[in-house]
Amino acid sequence: MKMISKALRACALSAKHSSGWIQPRHYATTTHPSVCSRAKDPRWMDVDMTRESDSVDVVIVGGGPAGLAAACKLKQLSNQHKSDYRVVVLEKAPYIGGHTLSGACIEPTALTELFPDWADRGAPLLTQVTKESFFYLTRKGKIPLPILPGLPLHNRGNYIVRLGNVVKWLGEQAEALGVEVYSGIAVSEVLFDSDGAVAGVATNDLGIHKDGSPKESFQRGMEFAARQVIFAEGCRGSLTKQVLKRYGLLIHSERQTYGIGLKELWEIKESNWKPGLVEHGIGWPLGNGIYGGFFVYHYNEGAPLVAVGMVMGLDYENPYTSPFREFQRMKHHPHFAKLLEGGNRIGYGARAVTEGGFQSIPKLTVPGGLLVGCAAGFLNVPKIKGVHNAMRSGLIAAEATFDELQKKTSDSQRALEVTSYTDRLKSSPVWHELHKVRNIRPSFHALRCGMLGVMFYTSTLWYLFRGREPWTFSHGPPDNAMLKPASACKPIEYPNPDGVLSFDLPSSVYLTGTYHDDDEPAHLTLLDDTVPETINLPQYDGPEQRYCPAGKFPIDSW
């Protein structure tokens, strides 16, 4: 194990620049080998591309709730049956929980299935929901709305958590069970065998210049051959997208639709602190034309901490819309201004979320691999919750995978297609829960009444039928097709941040602790480098510069 860890993390001198290569004055934005082949690049001709390799039973790509739940369950079963299966988790964050956006309200049901004694084990679920409220925000006021029992947003019995701490704790439980957990390791490639089955994964190459050429410190990534690869990357993972495309897993499902979640952690005055309080709402500043809303979670962890956030769909029409600046503007509403007055912002984060729900669930298994968690799109959008479904899908995947491993002991090198995973999932609360709320998110477009239509549908037809309605709405066109040309829209004048309630993007990204070397390849890969300049900028005024919550597409770099 130490040898593997050393091989993964070392930056040994393994290659030199090819001589005689004249650097181009301008290089492409995208230099990833999946798009720009190294085969004909003279800079790579003399580079040793041999990879170190290791063989394991199961590789799990992603150390989030779904991946770690699967890992823990696999080792529990392995230890119970005295089957010494090797289970490896590969996580790109520098430490487990490092890329998990903290501030969540979770159902503990799946955690209880995995560890019935989680409280005795010290799981960091410290704040049980004691009170909840729901509002419709006007420009200056708020209208209380009832949360009837049975509605998706009903949160009694749930816990407010710092999800990064929960994931860190899950990682500790996994290691105690015998799972090999490697953090700081990005996986860049799916490996396939001669039959076309998933045969394993390869980790990222290290030591590459921004222009795509090898540095003196270049080191080839490492291969992990596995009988089963569990893809637990979360929303729009790069490997998941490879598998979806290669095996046509979306042929019989609707295309996925997406949203973005932005969140800040604040330390507030004790007089404003109400431990256990959960608040949700819709309305200003998003209005009726954008699917989304806000949330506030009051922790009970000693210090007076609250998580404040906004989630909005990416199917908006106006290309001048900036999710980040809408979020900053939201905090100037009197409701938030009073809550945060005298407080101090101590954290910021953002992430993409899957909003397609039941209609967009892809085929979940392929020979040698399967999808769990947000990689499969198990977020319950009306609940604004996905952790419980992610973990439960991991548990089900682990049980199904273990059974297949037990059957195939005589042919240990052959890839497994764990088809029973899909059957078990369809009989689980995950499937039933997503089917029950399948029409709420798409009612935004289907009823053509925006958020008011969603509220009407949820409070009347859904409450009457409880998911048993004899119809299923379609999501309609993809998110990007909803965007109108800039010439047809009015620019949005956002107020400047005041540095007290609202902040600029650079200072916000600084709080994430994210660091990138200036001389490393862009971690975002474009399939066509010409699209931003030939389509997005002239037709839509470069919406990338506004929708990215980390400012990765500045207009002055084009």
Q: Could you report the per-residue pLDDT of 144-194, keeping only the tens digit for each? A: 998 887 888 889 899 999 999 999 999 999 999 999 999 999 999 999 999
Q: Helices 65-80 and 387-407 sit at what angle, rounded to 10 degrees?
A: 40
Asked if 154 contacts 146 with a C-beta cutoff of 8 angstroms, the reply is: no
Residue among 73, 66, 59, 83 nearest 8 (CA) = 59
pTM of the predicted model as reported, rounded to 2 decimal places: 0.92
Instruction: Take residue 155 and report the two structure tokens written for it.
Output: 């949160």
In the block, residue with structure tokens 């095996």:
247
The confidence score (pLDDT) of residue 21 equals 36
Distance separating alpha carbons of residues 297 and 109, to the nearest angstrom: 20
pLDDT-flagged residues of the chain (< 70): 1-29, 408-414, 555-558
The confidence score (pLDDT) of residue 409 equals 58
Distance separating alpha carbons of residues 263 and 161, to the nearest angstrom: 13
Distance separating alpha carbons of residues 454 and 469, to the nearest angstrom: 15
In the block, residue with structure tokens 């960091």:
124
Specify the length of the chain in residues: 558
In the block, residue with structure tokens 């967009």:
360
Taken in order of first residue, the domains within the chain and their CATH numbers are: 53-105+166-255+360-427 (3.50.50.60), 125-161+257-355+483-557 (3.30.9.90), 438-474 (no CATH)
The confidence score (pLDDT) of residue 513 equals 77
